[in-house]
Amino acid sequence: MKTFCIQDLTVRDGNQSLLATRMEREDILSLASALDKVGFYSLEVWGGATFDSAYRFLHQSAWDNLREIRQAAPKTKLSMLLRGQNIVGYRHYDNDILERFIRLTIENGIDIIRCFDALNDVNNVRNAFSYIKKHGAHLEAALAYTVSSIHTIEYFVDLVRKYEEMGADSICIKDMSGIILPDRARELITALKQVTDLPITLHSHTTAGRTTLVMVEALKAGVDCVDGCISPFSGGTAHLADETLFAIADELGRPYNIDKEALSEAYEVADKIADKYIKKGNYRTRSLIPNPKILEYEIPGGMLSNLLSQLEEQGTADRMNEVLQEVPQVREDMGCPPLVTPLSQMIGTQAVLNVLLGERYKVSPNEIKTYLTGGYGRPPGKVNAEVRRKILGSDQALIPADPNLLEPEYDKNFAYLENFLGRKPLEEEVVAFTIFPDPLKEYMQQDEPGQAQEKLEKLTRPQVEAKPEKAASPSSGIKTYRITLAGEEHIVELEELV
């Protein structure tokens, strides 16, 4: 039978789903170095929430992190998660910033870019696809998987056809909520195999507790690659363990090429690191408990663990089930978008407000208002007109945003940073500042002028032969969950999750 492969997500999605992206750089590098020896198809190490978290919580440069990971893992292809025109942020960014980010990402060590749009709107990924191909990375085009009357097998087949026409090198079925069922996985993979020869990867979180059965059916159907995490960072809101996936392959006779001794050694490294975060309280038991009700709520693993963390911090964790029950209603009112960043945060925030304020849509985040006027693209289905009118206060037209009409921000932000820092900023600093201005300002205030350039010179990318072949400050978006019920103003902010 055909050889299959695993893309290990421990450093990015395992970290994000179970530790809320709080894994420190020294542990990331230890893990990356150990995983590099196993023989995985790729290691997902960057993108998603890790970019924001590096500056906001760890007070580190996300670019430095990438360069050091590349040095620590010179053998294996490195991958990242990109949200199309949203890049790794919470709004559309202009094409100049988008291309600069993609080019810098590739220059600093990324080989594979998994790119998707929260609404599956091809207009929101078209430019990103083009720049990824232009600068020589492997383009893995991802479907944001969800369940609704709109999201049929035919819907996803049509989307894959479009992605192949747009230059995709491979396809990822991105089930961020862990809601795909075994039969559905088999049907979808079989249908896609009939219309494309591109390699297909299945990404599915273990939140609902059915992923083992899902992966059995996926491997039977001929999926080319699957996503997993080393076992100490697997399960719950994360992914199935790499070791379990290899065991399934053994049972089904699907061959693979890995170093099992290196896998065992990577386990030992990961186990010690996991123990560290258990003792620190970052590794929450609740995140590991399967929740079959996710099949109803459709909340991504990372969003669930972080929402729980935020509710605990505010002393309102006892209302978690109420919030979860509210999510499907809000999603339906919004036209059934997939619950993936940034839509997952927006709908989660609205659900929290609805529950805690005791009235639906009494207060709505600005991001919801932007969504309802087309600022994030075209909603997949019909939006509840009455709800839309209540939130916006009128029947204003919904006009999907055209990314090509966004004004360039680089020069303006370069000038701002030059004045702020008292030196010429690096290109990577300007790009990062454009996406996350406040965390970047706080981070850069810690460094003496010139220190960033010195670090950049020290952290040079490995030579090409050492790498595998490549197949005014903007809004920073929804970040920290915070609600005050005593006054008339209510603020709810959630961390970035995928």
Which of 251, 292, 243 lies closest to 267, judged by CA? 243
Which tens digits make up the pLDDT trace of 322-369? 888 898 899 999 999 998 878 888 888 898 889 888 999 999 999 999
Instruction: Evaluate whether residue 165 is within a structural domain.
Output: yes
What is residue 306's predicted lDDT score, i.e. its pLDDT? 59
Q: Are 145 and 175 in contact (CB under 8 A)?
A: yes
pLDDT for the residue 497? 42
What pLDDT score was predicted for residue 143? 97
Residue 491 has pLDDT above 60, yes or no: no
* pLDDT tier, 189 (very low <50, low <70, confident <90, very high otherwise): very high
What average pLDDT does range 124-146 have in this prediction?
Answer: 97
Q: Is 486 exposed, middle or buried (0-12, 13-18, 19+ CB in 10 A)?
A: exposed
pLDDT value at residue 2 = 78
The pLDDT of residue 442 is above 80: yes
Q: Is residue 234 in some structural domain?
A: yes
pLDDT at residue 473 in the model: 41
182 in any annotated domain: yes
Q: Is residue 471 part of a domain?
A: no
Confidence at residue 80, expressed as pLDDT on a 0 to 100 scale: 98
Note down the domain range covering 259: 5-280
462 pLDDT more than 80? no
pLDDT of 446 higher than 90: no
Report the half-sphere exposure of 204 (CA within 13 A, side-chain side): 30
Across the range 70-91, mean pLDDT stands at 96
Which pLDDT value is given to residue 301?
A: 58
Give the separation between CA 262 and CA 259, rounded to whole angstroms. Answer: 5
Share of the chain above pLDDT 90, in %: 69
248 in a domain, yes or no? yes
pLDDT over 70 at 166, yes or no? yes
**DSSP, residue by residue, 140-204:** EEEEE---SSS--HHHHHHHHHHHHHTT-SEEEEEETTS---HHHHHHHHHHHHHH--S-EEEEE
Q: Choose between 294 and 42: higher pLDDT.
A: 42
What's the pLDDT score for residue 302? 57
Please tell me the predicted confidence (pLDDT) of residue 290.
Answer: 84
Q: Among 100-109, 136-145, 432-441, 481-490, which is the least confidently predicted range?
A: 481-490
Q: pLDDT higher for 169 or 492?
A: 169
The mean pLDDT of the chain is 88
For residues 270 and 27, the answer to whether their CB atoms sit within 8 Å is: no
pLDDT exceeds 90 at position 259: yes
Residue 10 CA to residue 68 CA, distance in Å, equals 16
With a cut of 80, say whether residue 465 has pLDDT above it: no
CATH number at residue 37: 3.20.20.70
Whether 315 is covered by a domain: the verdict is: no
Tens digits of per-residue pLDDT, 291-323? 887 787 777 655 676 577 667 777 888 888 888
Domains: count for the chain:
1
- The reply to whether 48 falls in a domain is yes
Could you report the per-residue pLDDT of 363-408, keeping only the tens digit for each? 999 999 999 999 999 999 999 999 999 999 998 888 988 999 999 9
In a domain, 405, yes or no: no
What tens digit of pLDDT does each residue of 203-229 get? 999 988 999 999 999 999 999 999 999
Q: Spell out where 75-137 has E strands.
A: 77-82, 112-115
Q: What pLDDT band is residue 495 in, cutting at 50, 70 and 90? A: very low
